[in-house]
Structure 1
Amino acid sequence: MLSKHHFLFFLLALCSSWVLPILAAETTVQVTLGNSIQKAIDSLPADGSSAIIEIESGVYHENITISRPNIIFRPSTEGQVVLEQSVRDYAVVFIEAPGTDISFYNVDIINTIGEAAGNQNALRTYGERLAMYNCKLVGFGDTAFFVRGSGYLYNSWVEGTVDYFYGEYNLYVYKSTVACSGQGAVTAASTLLDNPAGGFVFNKANFTPVVSSIYDKRQENDHSYTDPLSPEEYESSVILGRPWHNGPRVIIVQSNIMSHIKPKGYDAWNFSEEELENNVYYAEYANTGPGADTSGRVSWSRQISEKEAAPYLSPQTYFNNLDLGTDWIDPEYLE
């Protein structure tokens, strides 16, 4: 029979056999200025185990592709990490479908190409459970292509002129800035018709006009705002959404909307109003600011009640209704 002391030793040894593999599974890689973030990604084990890439603050002129799950990107020093590159028909950060449970802290992702043909993505993602905290996504058009998957943006800045939130994603944008740098559309959602609970949600966001932060030279037929920013130019020049497919869902609640938003709010794009009437879900609730006046909105948008807005008033409720939960989100940023 084991003595009391031997039994305790046996339990400790058994617990250690469980804990040590878990601890050993997490890999941390350091990246210093002048070195490659992509090489750090490529050096990670191929088993999908948890990994942290700690990056020295500063500017990195590269684009990266993420093809494995469970990576946290964060600065190793005070300040922001900036990924800056001129990319056409690709993205500065491309997250492929295996790239689930990816998190970014204090990372700015900037596509400097300006106005150009084709896609000009800062971010393109197929990943489930993407989380971004205190980040920036900056481009001209098509800044963030949320192809399909799910994600959470907290205290982040997304900047562009046209369709700079687009795709099928179930995306919750919380306490963030939607920076409109020209005359276009904020969203081009392509939510599937069989997804009645998801889409793009903006809660406590700030919709504001800005001067583009990526280039100074204005190009032919350029529809970005001039510097300095002029009310005569930006007043009533932007729409909140246009339907990429005929079942988009965009919900804006408790947000501040400035006067650059057109009174009609939305545009039918390539669809008839009859096609959109019963399919789109462009909804607004309890927004403030001069652009939040819904009296001139298109007939197929909605001004919803508190009860109807309830599923969108917290990330917990939104993601729970999608059976995604919030255990993949840093609780410090859920509030």
Structure 2
Amino acid sequence: MKKTLLTFYFLLISFSALLYAQKNKTAYDIVVAADGSGNYTKVQDAFNAVPDNNSKRTVIFVKPGVYKEKLKLTSGKKNVSLIGESYKNTILTYDDYAEIAGGTSKSFSVLIEANDFFAENITFENTISSELPQYKKGGQAVALMVNGDRVIFHNCKMSGFQDTFYLKANKRTYIKDCIIDGTTDFIFGAGIALFENCVIQCRKDSYITAGNHEAGKSKYGFVFKDCVIMKYPKADISKVSLGRPWGAGANTVFIHSYEESIIIPEGWSIWSKDPENKVYDNWKTSFYAEYDCFGPGSDTDKRISWSKQLNKVEVSEYTKEKIFAANTTTANKLEGDWNPVIEKDKCNSVLPSKKAKNADSNFEKAFN
């Protein structure tokens, strides 16, 4: 009897320990830590460890730190989640630029080629400044480049100067509760992208977007909803354009967004003032529009004649489901409709009240 009770006691302890271990089992498949306390010290090693063509999601947690690496998640590494503690202390950075990298597309700090990638609480950074001498010789410096489809960035920061965020392919990306900063054309490419509740910070008098969409092939391009367009802290600027057409079908729309006084009265710009430039006529086939924007830079009285103010019927077409439907483009064959949902999204709106004073904002991003 005594032996039986002792055996039962040990079994009970073992079972309790197992339950405790299961309850506290980490939700991460791979941990990256610069101090050696994780599975790897480098993010690229974690990317390389992801099985090719994996149908199961691989979750990588990156502990706080500054990771200076030129990173590439190849197309076979599907279904990866990259999670940091906070974009303020988990930073992926590099300092490449077009002249030495061999072109803008090779200047990235981070390249995401895989489908179904998700990033949260991460800063993607390129530190090459437009003030450096080499800028004049090809200083385009991409912080983050996306070639995959169905990609999500939540509560992240994309920071750089010229060409910060390159949505290269005509594929779908959802950007929510993020900060994006830069100087010239710092959100650019041919992607189908929805930016929701984001802060767009301009570092100099230049252009925010440069769409490279093909004419007549995509219903949607870059869509900004409930965003704040403002100057970078302490930047001395006053003439920022919402965008210019790199491609003949450039497509950019701002919906219910706050625009500081830095936005030029015309709103938008042509690519080049030289009629001999091969992209001079791109404005004729591009689509630039706004709806219900507010703030001191939102006055539409002097907007260029070829931009548009949407009406209620037209703006009703700009839902997440419709933007990311597979049939909205003929420039690329997309796989299925997509309606991304971010779980446990507790971020607050970054928009100031419309009832607030109609002056430049003096507020910080409203989420951590």
- For normalisation by structure 2, the TM-score amounts to 0.72
Give the alignment partner of residue 199 of structure 1, picking from 221, 232, 236.
221
Q: Does 1:269 align with 2:271?
A: yes
- Corresponding residue number in structure 2 for 1:183: 205
Over 3 Å counting, the alpha-carbon distance change for 1:121 and 1:317 in structure 2 is same
Partner amino acid, structure 2, of 1:298: I
3-state SS of paired residue (1:311): coil
- Corresponding residue number in structure 1 for 2:96: 87
- Corresponding residue number in structure 2 for 1:145: 166
Question: How far apart, CA to CA, are the structure 1 residues paired with 2:346 and 2:244?
Answer: 29
Question: How far apart, CA to CA, are the structure 2 residues paired with 1:188 and 1:123?
Answer: 15
Question: How far apart, CA to CA, are the structure 1 residues paired with 2:259 and 2:203?
Answer: 14
Question: How far apart, CA to CA, are the structure 2 residues paired with 1:196 and 1:147?
Answer: 14
- Corresponding residue number in structure 2 for 1:281: 287
Q: Shift of the alpha carbon at 1:197?
A: 1.6
Instruction: Answer whether contact 2:227 2:256 (CA < 8 A) is retained.
Output: yes
Q: Shift of the alpha carbon at 1:292?
A: 0.7
Instruction: Answer whether contact 2:255 2:291 (CA < 8 A) is retained.
Output: yes
Most deviating of 31-40 and 318-327: 318-327
Measured against aligned partners, the alpha-carbon deviations of 1:172-219 in whole angstroms (never above 9, x if no partner) come to 0000001001111000001122334210000000000014xxxxxxxx
Q: Shift of the alpha carbon at 1:78?
A: 9.9
- Corresponding residue number in structure 2 for 1:169: 191
Question: How far apart, CA to CA, are the structure 1 residues paired with 2:87 and 2:189?
Answer: 33
Over 3 Å counting, the alpha-carbon distance change for 1:318 and 1:77 in structure 2 is closer
Measured against aligned partners, the alpha-carbon deviations of 1:48-73 in whole angstroms (never above 9, x if no partner) come to 33211111122212121010211000
Most deviating of 324-333 and 143-152: 324-333
Most deviating of 82-91 and 131-140: 82-91
Over 3 Å counting, the alpha-carbon distance change for 1:105 and 1:27 in structure 2 is closer
- For normalisation by structure 1, the TM-score amounts to 0.79
3-state SS of paired residue (2:209): strand
Q: Could you list the runs of 5+ residues in structure 2 that have no partner in the other structure?
A: 1-26, 36-40, 99-106, 329-333, 348-368
Question: How far apart, CA to CA, are the structure 2 residues paired with 1:276 and 1:77?
Answer: 40
Instruction: Answer whether contact 1:57 1:78 (CA < 8 A) is retained.
Output: no
Question: How far apart, CA to CA, are the structure 2 residues paired with 1:280 and 1:38?
Answer: 38
Q: Does 1:309 align with 2:315?
A: yes
- Corresponding residue number in structure 2 for 1:4: none
- Corresponding residue number in structure 1 for 2:299: 293
Question: How far apart, CA to CA, are the structure 2 residues paired with 1:260 and 1:118?
Answer: 24
Q: Does 1:257 align with 2:262?
A: no
- Corresponding residue number in structure 1 for 2:122: 107
Instruction: Answer whether contact 2:139 2:162 (CA < 8 A) is retained.
Output: no
Q: Shift of the alpha carbon at 1:275?
A: 3.7
Give the alignment partner of residue 38 of structure 1, picking from 35, 44, 67.
44
Instruction: Answer whether contact 2:249 2:285 (CA < 8 A) is retained.
Output: yes
Instruction: Answer whether contact 2:53 2:78 (CA < 8 A) is retained.
Output: no
Over 3 Å counting, the alpha-carbon distance change for 1:31 and 1:310 in structure 2 is same
Question: How far apart, CA to CA, are the structure 2 residues paired with 1:184 and 1:317?
Answer: 31
Question: How far apart, CA to CA, are the structure 2 residues paired with 1:146 and 1:269?
Answer: 18
Question: How far apart, CA to CA, are the structure 1 residues paired with 2:324 and 2:295?
Answer: 28
Instruction: Answer whether contact 1:315 1:334 (CA < 8 A) is retained.
Output: no
Over 3 Å counting, the alpha-carbon distance change for 1:70 and 1:142 in structure 2 is same
- Corresponding residue number in structure 2 for 1:224: none
Give the alignment partner of residue 51 of structure 1, picking from 54, 58, 64.
58
Over 3 Å counting, the alpha-carbon distance change for 1:135 and 1:277 in structure 2 is closer
Question: How far apart, CA to CA, are the structure 2 residues paired with 1:101 and 1:306?
Answer: 32
More strand by percentage: 1
Please, what is the CA RMSD of the aligned residues? 2.5
Give the alignment partner of residue 323 of structure 2, picking from 318, 324, 329.
318
